[in-house]
Amino acid sequence: MRENRSLRRALALTLASTLLWGVAHIWTGRTRTGLTLAAVWLTLLSAGVTVLGNAPTLPLRRLDVVVAAGAALAVAWVAVIVWSWLVIRPRRVRFGLPLLAVAGLCVLVAAPLGYASRLAYVSNEVVSSVFVADDPAPQVVTPVVDPWAGRERLNVLLVGADSAENRPGARTDSMTVASVDTRTGESVLFSLPRNLQNVPVDGFPPAALLNEVFQWGEDHGRSGADLLKSTVGDILGLDVDYYAMVDMRGFAQIINAMGGVTVKVPHDIVFGAYREGLIKAGTHHLNGTQALWFGRSRTDSDDYQRMGRQKCLLNAVAEQADPLKVLRGFERIADVTKRYVSTDIPRSLVPDLIDLAPKVKGADIKSLQFVPPLIRTGDPDWELIQEKVDEALGERTRPIAATPAAKPKADKPVDLDESCA
């Protein structure tokens, strides 16, 4: 009976030492060691709470440090648990269930830290592979009150690129500028059709289409992404800060890694070169392949209907990409991202974008598509496009950027489309 009480006390003190380092040592008279362990633990806990409380995304700025720190903490914590058991265990207890209980405590502590370190490692690989390296000058990582330096809007060009085996290069068939209010997260999506002509680019063939600008720049010794970004900015009259381009081959894999996406299909959608696929009208949970065709099919429809479906799909993905889904498919999403996503967003801005994301998700997201009858794609009215952008952003007094001569203005107003119904 005495041995049972001693064993229960030893296990209880080991558990207490797991929650607060040093308890078992203090109980056995090793007061100095116990107090030292407790002080170290409280210091680590206080530091962690302070960092996460003041800047929840601060660890994302140094993911390599997070990986090392997580692994070191796991090893140290397990060592404290084992050490506590060794100093408190009854002498006659060697093996059996008590030892399994202590091992279980070690696993319970080490597994989450190991998983967190793994996520940090994978995240660090993604950030290093996809995002642009910052200025090599040393930077002091400190919490920033306004990471946007007074900039009221962030304009990011979102591009869906389509490449095929039967033609060289890539065509940017989906081009949308997301203009985000950095204070509230309220956003407006400006979508440009792929078949705009007379694009304001020096030397670019007038009959060529907007979706050919990227590859034309690459073929003429220029950065296709930079040229497309500046061209779209000139058309809209906006300063486009960054771009993010997804190869459509990877889009389906990202949707699958999320577990699919639910969308309202307005009417039957036929897809495939030989009409081999069909998505029936109604609300459906689509897998990656179905979502890809939902956004890209033009069979029995046109570019403008496709643009509307693409906008609906982007909204659905943004709304349904909850943290749990992303976490479950994190490594698959990370692998696809490294292979199929490119951007010029600097690495140092990633934590601030993560901070901004909940505001965007919780705020209004509106959209404006520059398609007929508002815009004639073969002979666009550039000034009208910029005026409509100003109206959407509430900036009616901003001067219009220099573009080709304006055409007669349309009298029909265009409402911001707020639904996918």
More confident residue, 260 or 300: 260
Q: What is the pLDDT of residue 167?
A: 57
AA letter at 127:
V
d(CA 134, CA 131): 9
Q: What is the pLDDT of residue 146?
A: 66
110-130 burial code (b ≥16 CB/10 A, e <16): beebeebbebbbbbbebbeeb
**Is it the case that residue 55 has pLDDT exceeding 70?**
no
**Do 204 and 380 form a contact (C-beta atoms < 8 A)?**
no
Q: What is the pLDDT of residue 165?
A: 59
For 153-212, the pLDDT digits (tens) are 999 999 988 765 555 667 898 899 999 999 899 999 999 998 999 999 999 998 899 999
- Domain match, 96 and 158 both: no
Q: What is the pLDDT of residue 244?
A: 94
Instruction: Provide the pLDDT confidence category of residue 414 given band limits of 50, 70 and 90.
Output: very low
- Domain match, 337 and 227 both: yes
- Domain match, 162 and 286 both: yes
Among the ranges given (130-144, 319-333, 374-388), the one the predictor scored with the smallest mean pLDDT: 130-144
**Residue entry with tokens 């997580």:** 70
Q: Extract the tokens encoding 146.
A: 């306004």
Domain boundary among 67, 99, 130: 130
Q: Which domain holds residue 92?
A: 2-130
Domain contains 160: yes
Domain contains 35: yes
- Domain match, 284 and 348 both: yes
Q: What is the pLDDT of residue 115?
A: 87
**Is it the case that residue 236 has pLDDT exceeding 90?**
yes
**Is it the case that residue 411 has pLDDT exceeding 50?**
no
More confident residue, 134 or 398: 134
Instruction: Provide the pLDDT confidence category of residue 412 given band limits of 50, 70 and 90.
Output: very low
The DSSP bridge partners found for residue 161 are 172, 247
- Domain match, 265 and 328 both: yes
pTM here is 0.75
DSSP strand E in 68-183: where? 153-164, 167-181
Domain contains 14: yes
- Domain match, 178 and 66 both: no
Q: What is the residue-averaged pLDDT of the chain?
A: 82
**Is it the case that residue 419 has pLDDT exceeding 50?**
no
Domain contains 292: yes
CATH of the domain at 352: 3.40.630.190
Q: Percentage of the chain with pLDDT > 70?
A: 83
- Domain match, 157 and 33 both: no
AA letter at 325:
K
Among the ranges given (51-55, 95-99, 119-123, 336-340), the one the predictor scored with the smallest mean pLDDT: 51-55
Among the ranges given (72-76, 154-158, 175-179, 410-414), the one the predictor scored with the smallest mean pLDDT: 410-414
For 288-319, the pLDDT digits (tens) are 888 888 887 877 777 778 777 877 887 788 77
How many domains would you assign to the chain? 2
d(CA 71, CA 66): 9
- Domain match, 111 and 186 both: no
**Residue entry with tokens 């890809």:** 292
Task: Give the Cβ contact number of residue 242 at 10 Å.
Answer: 19
For 312-346, the pLDDT digits (tens) are 887 788 777 776 767 777 888 888 888 889 999 99
Among the ranges given (72-76, 178-182, 310-314, 404-408), the one the predictor scored with the smallest mean pLDDT: 404-408
Pick the most confident of 33-37, 346-350, 367-371: 33-37
Domain boundary among 130, 145, 179: 130
**Do 416 and 260 form a contact (C-beta atoms < 8 A)?**
no
More confident residue, 345 or 49: 345
- Domain match, 229 and 362 both: yes
Domain contains 415: no
Q: What is the mean pLDDT of residues 259-279?
A: 81
Q: What is the mean pLDDT of residues 52-70?
A: 73
- Domain match, 31 and 81 both: yes
**Do 59 and 351 form a contact (C-beta atoms < 8 A)?**
no
Q: What is the pLDDT of residue 13?
A: 92
**Residue entry with tokens 């109206």:** 391
**Do 163 and 208 form a contact (C-beta atoms < 8 A)?**
no
Q: Percentage of the chain with pLDDT > 90?
A: 38
d(CA 385, CA 97): 74
Q: What is the mean pLDDT of residues 370-395?
A: 91
- Domain match, 120 and 164 both: no
Domain boundary among 130, 164, 194: 130
**Is it the case that residue 361 has pLDDT exceeding 90?**
no
Characterize the bridge pairing of strands 261-265 and 365-369: unpaired
**Is it the case that residue 216 has pLDDT exceeding 90?**
yes
Task: Give the Cβ contact number of residue 354 at 10 Å.
Answer: 12
Domain contains 400: no
- Domain match, 56 and 115 both: yes
Domain contains 188: yes
Domain contains 99: yes
Task: Give the Cβ contact number of residue 154 at 10 Å.
Answer: 20
d(CA 224, CA 247): 14
